[in-house]
Amino acid sequence: MVMGRKITSGKYHARRKRRLHERQNQERIVVLGETKAKQMRTRGGNIKTVMLKSNVANITIDTKSKRAEIKNVLETPQNKFLARQNRLTKGAIIETSLGKARITNRPKREGCINAVLLKN
């Protein structure tokens, strides 16, 4: 069966258009590069800071945090092709000036990158 069709092969027609809160946003991709962010208006008039590019991360070492420069994306658990494109996602292992680290937050939705230093 083709989606959006009746059993008699007639078409289902939408009763109305999508509301503003039902519309899908454009996909945001966070890439390694000079830091760039933008602010978006969300529901209720609130403002959300969205990351587009970044080359710095807040790295937690034991209980203290340091700011480090990101050199490269080594691997991503979701898809190996995302690492080749230097995309920064949650769970990605990155190479920083302090060593290897794993991203612990979702950079698309937050305005920063938080990571935990990995022990070798």
Q: 32-78 pLDDT, tens per residue?
A: 999 999 998 888 899 988 999 999 999 999 899 999 999 999 999 99
Dist CA 117 CA 94 (whole Å): 10
Please give the biggest Cα pair distance in the chain. Answer: 65
Mean pLDDT within 78-104: 95
Predicted pLDDT of residue 1: 52
Select from 3.40.50.2300, 3.40.50.2000, 3.20.20.140, 3.10.290.70 the CATH code of 25-117: 3.10.290.70
pTM of the predicted model as reported, rounded to 2 decimal places: 0.79
How is the chain split into domains, by residue range? 25-117
Confidence of residue 22 (pLDDT cuts 50, 70, 90): confident
Per the CB < 8 A criterion, the answer to whether 30 and 24 are in contact is: no
Would you report the helix, strand and coil content of the chain in percent, each value rounded to 5?
5, 40, 50
Looking at residue 100, its pLDDT comes to: 96
Q: What is the mean pLDDT of the chain?
A: 91
Task: Report helix, strand or coil for 83.
Answer: helix
For 82, the token pair is 């995302």
Distance CA 54, CA 35 (A): 4
